[in-house]
Amino acid sequence: MAEHFSKRTATCGSLTKADDKKAVILNGWVHRHRDHGMIHFINLRDRYGITQVIVDDDSSKELQQVALSLNLEDCISVTGVVRARPASMVNPEMATGEIEVKAEQIEILSTCAPLPFQIDDGNVPREELRLKYRYLDLRTEGMKKRIKLRHDTVWAIRRYLSARGFYEIETPTMIKSTPEGARDFLVPSRIHVGKFYALPQSPQLFKQILMVGGMDKYFQIARCYRDEDARGDRQPEFTQLDLEMSFVTRDDVLSTMEGLFGYVFKEVMDYDLPPTFRRFSYEEAMNTYGCDKPDLRFGLELQDMNDLASRSTFATFKEIVAQGGHVKALCAPHSEIVDFSRKYITDLENAAKVYGAHGLAWMKVGENNTINGGISKFFEGLQGEIIDRFDAKEGDMILFVAHKEWKKTCASLSAVRSKLGKDLQLIRPGFEFCWIVDFPLFEYNEERGQWEAAHHMFSMPQAEYIDTMEEDPGKVKGDLYDLVLNGYEVASGSIRIHDVELQKRIFRICNFDDETAQERFGFLLTAFSFSPPPHGGIAPGIDRIVMIMAGESSIHEVIAFPKNTAGISPMDDSPSFVEEKQLEELHLKIVYPEKKE
């Protein structure tokens, strides 16, 4: 162990030919070690790069012995002299490939136990091991790049917003549990027996209260918490850019975000986004892509086929249309990669059925504007119109879903579209943002038999619906907007209600009577009685956006210390049992569920 050590005078990524003959000290880890008898080539690594260190055959016996004893990942300090490599030895793939450092002394700062896996980006171990030994995983080039990408991204966000008059304001993370409380993590109070704080699912109420307080433009890179069952890529704690603005309408928030992400992508990745993003109403997005988070990196737009279905002789379709249902189709282009075999069509059909489709009908486009196979025989005389609708070519495949419910028709065909996009390799590289607007304000929860807020209860209904919204909540559209990137929802926001009475009406539609609303949201309602300004905001998810920027498919890749899908951190083994004394102090007893026999 070294209390004193030879401190670096340069990093492992900084030396060039210009440093030839310079005496230097490098500190870092043994990344590679080739031992050619009396000559050692040691690749020394730190956060900044890799430098080749040479222990030559003219070195002292002592130095030779130290070199011989080195294990991969030992942490060392190398004192030596830079020498330019001869032209033939220059490694153009290394930033420091023009030089090497001839070691004069090597000090071992700390040694490395046998590695559970090799630190090698080409060889990614299973995730449980990566999480348990995250500090070793962080040493890989990939993790280092992603941690830097995240820093760069959040840093660019702060630059953009701070330059535009936004204040970053910290809001509390120990707050009151709200009625969506089912998903709240609770924190027992030791001093106030029987009472709890909750960890915030978002700073929603506080950012609105900041607007009531006149803060005008607020943002925060905020930690948020949600106690959900393990589901895909969720984390119990996650990070969002929380943002709110006063005296604005929808388009102000949208253009602020367009400016922000344009800046961030240019600064961080040198990638040009368009100055504005495409906007779809919710209905339009559903009708065109089958979903409200479309991946615009490929086409395969859906077409409404109700008219042609009615005129066909296909009883199933005709009946569905007659009953007010929907027939939609898309056209998969002829492909060299995928043959549209029966088996493949069955795979597509299975993808559709997950979302409620009864089946997937198809027809193939033949030569000379003909259609054949599948349900083509029912469309006698309609070939030309079908082909025109898709501008279809020979070898293309037209795929149909019909269902009495609009949402299920859309969602099923969207699943087919997604699978085709991937399988046919239609997805263009790059980043495609779009806005989805004009969402329904309420959704009917069949299970509970009641209306619920589609986004949250603080969003403004569009003006034309306000007077009569109780009559048919399902029809009410809200001033809601989602930001979508490459098929992921990456942000969600709205113009907020700033009127106590309107807010109470929304609570009532969502089945909170005035008393419950008062108990749970009284402080917001009180705040709203003191002249809140019109305001609105949005909350982009940092984890997911950085994940997409990094080209990854799991947010684990862009979080330094993620929990696994069971909410466990394999490194520190949290959550864990605590001492009985701690529970006593909190006045808590654990009630273990009875074991089933």
- What residues between 207 and 226 interact with a copy of itself by CB under 8 A? 209-210, 212-217, 223, 225
Distances (CA, A) of 124 to 233, 370, 396: 19, 50, 39
Nearest to 282 by CA among 465, 431, 479: 479
Q: Among 88, 123, 368, 531, which residue interacts with a copy of itself (rule: CB under 8 A)?
A: 531
Residues 282, 288: Cα–Cα separation, whole Å: 10
Q: Which stretch binds a copy of itself (CB under 8 A): 33-41, 122-130, 143-151, 486-494?
A: 143-151
Instruction: Kindly calculate the radius of gyration of the chain based on its CA atoms and give it in whole angstroms.
Output: 30
Residues 8, 27: Cα–Cα separation, whole Å: 5
CA 410 to chain centre: 24
Instruction: Dump strand ranges (E) for 122-216.
Output: 167-168, 186-188, 196-198
Tell me how far, at minimum, the Cβ of 482 lies from a copy of itself, in Å: 21
- What residues between 413 and 432 interact with a copy of itself by CB under 8 A? none
Tell me how far, at minimum, the Cβ of 217 lies from a copy of itself, in Å: 8
Q: Which stretch binds a copy of itself (CB under 8 A): 256-264, 416-424, 480-488, 584-592?
A: 584-592
Q: Among 41, 185, 263, 344, which residue interacts with a copy of itself (rule: CB under 8 A)?
A: 185
Nearer to a copy of itself, 80 or 421 (CB): 80
**H or E element that contains 292:** none
Nearer to a copy of itself, 223 or 428 (CB): 223
Distances (CA, A) of 194 to 174, 191, 279, 586: 15, 9, 49, 8
Q: Among 52, 177, 256, 376, which residue interacts with a copy of itself (rule: CB under 8 A)?
A: 177
Quick check: 155 binds a copy of itself (CB under 8 A)?
A: yes
- What residues between 498 and 517 interact with a copy of itself by CB under 8 A? 498-499, 501-502
Longest CA pairwise span in the chain (Å): 93
Residues 348, 359: Cα–Cα separation, whole Å: 10
Q: Which stretch binds a copy of itself (CB under 8 A): 274-282, 407-415, 444-452, 581-589?
A: 581-589
Q: What is the amino acid identity at position 36?
A: H
Tell me how far, at minimum, the Cβ of 527 lies from a copy of itself, in Å: 5
Q: Among 37, 86, 122, 194, which residue interacts with a copy of itself (rule: CB under 8 A)?
A: 194
Residues 329, 324: Cα–Cα separation, whole Å: 17
Nearest to 224 by CA among 210, 240, 208: 240
- What residues between 19 and 38 interact with a copy of itself by CB under 8 A? 27, 29
Q: Which stretch binds a copy of itself (CB under 8 A): 274-282, 285-293, 306-314, 494-502?
A: 494-502
Nearer to a copy of itself, 187 or 427 (CB): 187
Q: Strand pairing partners for 175?
A: 198
CA 11 to chain centre: 33
Tell me how far, at minimum, the Cβ of 495 lies from a copy of itself, in Å: 9
Q: Among 337, 530, 595, 597, which residue interacts with a copy of itself (rule: CB under 8 A)?
A: 530
SS3 255: helix
- What residues between 245 and 264 interact with a copy of itself by CB under 8 A? 246-249
- What residues between 88 and 117 interact with a copy of itself by CB under 8 A? 109-113, 115
Quick check: 41 binds a copy of itself (CB under 8 A)?
A: no
Nearest to 70 by CA among 100, 102, 110, 38: 110
Q: What is the amino acid identity at position 569?
A: S
Residues 217, 214: Cα–Cα separation, whole Å: 9
Quick check: 124 binds a copy of itself (CB under 8 A)?
A: no
- What residues between 273 and 302 interact with a copy of itself by CB under 8 A? none
Quick check: 389 binds a copy of itself (CB under 8 A)?
A: no
Quick check: 227 binds a copy of itself (CB under 8 A)?
A: yes
Nearer to a copy of itself, 260 or 397 (CB): 260
Tokens of 449: 């038999």
Print the binding letters for residues 436-475 with a copy of itself: x by CB under 8 A, - otherwise. Answer: ------------------------x-xx--x---------
Strand 361-365: give its sheet, edge to edge: 303-304, 326-332, 397-403, 361-365, 371-372
